[in-house]
Structure 1
Amino acid sequence: MRRLVLAAAAVFACNNGDGQNSGFSTSITTAPPATTSTGAETTSTSTTGGSSTSGEDSAAASSTGNSDSSAGGIPDGGVPPDGGDKPPAGCKGKIDFMFTISSDWTMEDAQGWLKSSFPGFIGTLEGEFADFDYHILSANTSPLWGHPILCANCEDFCPEVPKYPCGVEHEPCDEIRGAGVTYPIGEHASNKRCDLASGRRYITSGQPELEDAFTCIASVGIDGAANVAEVTVKAVASELNSVGSCNAGFLRDDALLVVVVVQDTADENSEGTAQDWANALVDAKGGDADAVVLLVITNDIDDPDGLCGYAGIPPGFHELRNWTELLPHSVFGSICNEQGYAGYFAEAAAKIKTQCDVFVPQ
């Protein structure tokens, strides 16, 4: 509420209160797919500084801002290329990485630990998957585009938050939750259009200055919203991945899907249940649970030995942990690990390579 009051004050401080009159941006609502559920065998492992629990496609939107809206209100993005087959065998070296990071105000502390992990993420990617044909997408959790607090009619910069340059060229997919982020906005966000060599709303292999590009799309700030599970479901749904849509070309039938979600709460407000979220990921891979690897970094207040402090929550009430345990190839990491999260990503990488070796496209 404090942020909304500050934002409202910022609007009226600019140009005598002349700002955009639209409300929060439009999101695409999709019912969770009804597929069969997957069981999970869980084991416990430890990483430095914390504990983790593991349970063992088309066209992309252009980043030029000249896209027209297609049927259903989803912007048309043209026709994407495919990087082609590369070694090794199994998944033929194709991996689609999706990051869904909460941009809620509660993430301020975790944002610092997350950003300190980016070099480790990219180090693992370049060290373990250098010969792979990968896509990397950061799904939009922020509803700020089109909201009055952006103060679009200001002459220069809007005071207070977010530090957003007025007059920046708007792209239709910027307003869609679940679409790939290319202009993160708000406090602690990149607040600039990310330079992606692909010209699309996700990074492709061969991206120059990969760490800089990834840091840009993944620095989503703290002026947005949470509900990472719900946004992830939107991001993999056919509405955003069909030809001409915002994320089209990101999901490939012959690629392994790796989802990394980061949120400091149990995500009890996301639409659907943990089973619905698991079904959505499996459905996105044609019903093959072995084609999905999930890494969830969240609080562990349901664990007496957790880093965040035990809150007496009984088993089964932490929806993000439940989501992790419903998928056979997953890693659970504590968001309170002050040493960062790169170790969790490295743990997930081992599962990714194993699954890539045995992956059979449906």
Structure 2
Amino acid sequence: MARLATLASVLIAAACNGGSGQETGFGSSITTAPPAPSTSGSDASTTTSTSASSAEDSAAAASSGSSGSSTSSASSGGIPDLGAIPDGGDGPPPGCKGKVDFLFTISGAFTMKPKQARLKASFPGFIATLESEFADFDYHILSANTSALWGHPVLCAGCQDVCPEVPEYPCGVTPEPCDTVQGAGVTYPIGKDASNERCELASGRRYITTGQPELVDAFTCIASMGTNGSDQVAEATVKALADDINAPGGCNEGFLRDDALLVVVAIQDTYDQGSEGTAEDWRDALLEAKGGDADAVVLLVISTDIDVPEALCGYDPGVEHELRTWTELMQPNALFGSICAEGYSDYFAIVAKMIKSQCDVFVPQ
């Protein structure tokens, strides 16, 4: 409740005063480890560059065995004793077969309008790449609610026909129960710079599914979170993946599938000091969602790079960046990109390669 009150006061101030973004440079800054299809858990090193480089697919194959001697022969008939005939092994892993569950957690901070625009602009190319990679691309796409303030009176006290402070606010609209749940799929983003309408999702659920008409328009609707002051993308991610919210009757019922790869995209222009837990807790939540299988998760974090000397957002050596730590803990199946880059397509191109690589080695639980 303390956090709610604090956020509410910030919202009131922002509604009156507005907000302005801060960006000190443009380009692209990528931190990644090679997207090798191996299990996470070993020490990972990071490299930051000012130009995006395409990730190389890598695969490892090992063969071992012993060659037994067949110099003896059977006691009758003179037929050589060849020993046990090998069964050919278990074969390659089944893979995800094009099934991917995408979870987007998008900050609605007052400075996020241009960053949300870049994210939405990167989406069509990202999806087109994956459609070309998978013959049977079967997706779920959920944009998690980073705020529990939907419909809260503090957003526009005395609202009747028009909200003077935030004219875009859907005055008089009654929220659905899941509209006010942090981590639930967003279907009616509200507030300044938001969609401010109920998004048309053919699935009838709080996320997009394969076959959605006008997919780009539908994603644009659920990803237009606006600038209502909400952030805490790591906490929203954890809540969106919790068992109860994905269980029958939960807000995100059916989103997580046992036989699908999980891809998380978290975007926030600060280093998320407000989320509950630590980077280790956030990592554990991702792994728990996929039965402890690190190869079943790909993580993309787009955030301020203020903590590194090559920063596009301006360098501050005193910053403890939990979102970057979270990314490093999930490597090699994770990528960190600077939110101050002038576009995010390079990041999504690398993540598309990661998805293809990890889908090949994924073993459904």
- Give the AA of the match of 2:194: A
Preserved contact between residue 295 and residue 332 of structure 1 (Cα < 8 Å): yes
Answer yes or no: is 1:327 the counterpart of 2:330.
yes
Given the alignment, which residue of 340, 345, 350 partners 1:347?
350
Distance 1:253 1:205 in 2: 17
Distance 2:11 2:269 in 1: 19
Match in the other structure for 1:110: 115
After superposition, give the CA deviation of every residue in 1:39-91 in whole Å (9 maximum; x if it has no partner).
Answer: 4523437574x68999x9xxxxxxxxxxxxxxxxxxxxxxxxxxxxxxx9511
Helix, strand or coil at the partner of 1:105 = coil
Preserved contact between residue 97 and residue 136 of structure 2 (Cα < 8 Å): no
Give the direction of change, closer, same or farther, for the CA distance of 1:224–1:124 in structure 2 (3 Å limit).
farther
After superposition, give the CA deviation of every residue in 1:121-158 in whole Å (9 maximum; x if it has no partner).
Answer: 34334444462111000000123213114548744332
- Give the AA of the match of 1:321: R
Which blocks of at least 5 consecutive residues in structure 1 are unaligned? 10-36, 57-87
- C-alpha displacement of 1:169: 4.1
Answer yes or no: is 1:358 the counterpart of 2:355.
no
Match in the other structure for 1:176: 181
- Equivalent pairs counted in the alignment come to 299
Give the direction of change, closer, same or farther, for the CA distance of 1:270–1:254 in structure 2 (3 Å limit).
same
Given the alignment, which residue of 225, 242, 246 partners 2:247?
242
Helix, strand or coil at the partner of 1:173 = helix
- C-alpha displacement of 1:105: 1.3
Match in the other structure for 1:185: 190
- C-alpha displacement of 1:303: 1.2
Give the direction of change, closer, same or farther, for the CA distance of 1:263–1:253 in structure 2 (3 Å limit).
same
Helix, strand or coil at the partner of 2:217 = helix
Show the 5 A alignment for 1:58-137.
89-129=94-134, 131-137=136-142
- C-alpha displacement of 1:194: 0.4
After superposition, give the CA deviation of every residue in 1:191-247 in whole Å (9 maximum; x if it has no partner).
Answer: 110000101000001111000000100110110411110110000011211111001
Helix, strand or coil at the partner of 2:300 = strand
Helix, strand or coil at the partner of 1:252 = coil
> TM-score under structure 1 normalisation?
0.76
Identity of aligned residues (%): 67
After superposition, give the CA deviation of every residue in 1:270-300 in whole Å (9 maximum; x if it has no partner).
Answer: 1111011001000100010110000000011
- Give the AA of the match of 1:204: T
- Give the AA of the match of 1:264: D
Show the 5 A alignment for 1:219-298.
219-298=224-303
- Between Structure 1 and Structure 2, whose CA radius of gyration is higher? 2
Distance 2:224 2:277 in 1: 27
Distance 2:106 2:182 in 1: 12
Coordinate RMSD, CA, aligned: 2.7
Distance 1:334 1:202 in 2: 27
Preserved contact between residue 144 and residue 185 of structure 1 (Cα < 8 Å): no
Match in the other structure for 1:4: 12
Answer yes or no: is 1:337 the counterpart of 2:317.
no
Distance 2:158 2:100 in 1: 41
> TM-score under structure 2 normalisation?
0.75
Helix, strand or coil at the partner of 1:283 = helix
Preserved contact between residue 259 and residue 293 of structure 1 (Cα < 8 Å): yes
Which blocks of at least 5 consecutive residues in structure 2 are unaligned? 1-8, 18-39, 59-92
Answer yes or no: is 1:217 the counterpart of 2:242.
no
Give the direction of change, closer, same or farther, for the CA distance of 1:193–1:111 in structure 2 (3 Å limit).
same
Preserved contact between residue 96 and residue 257 of structure 1 (Cα < 8 Å): yes
Helix, strand or coil at the partner of 2:139 = strand
- C-alpha displacement of 1:320: 0.6
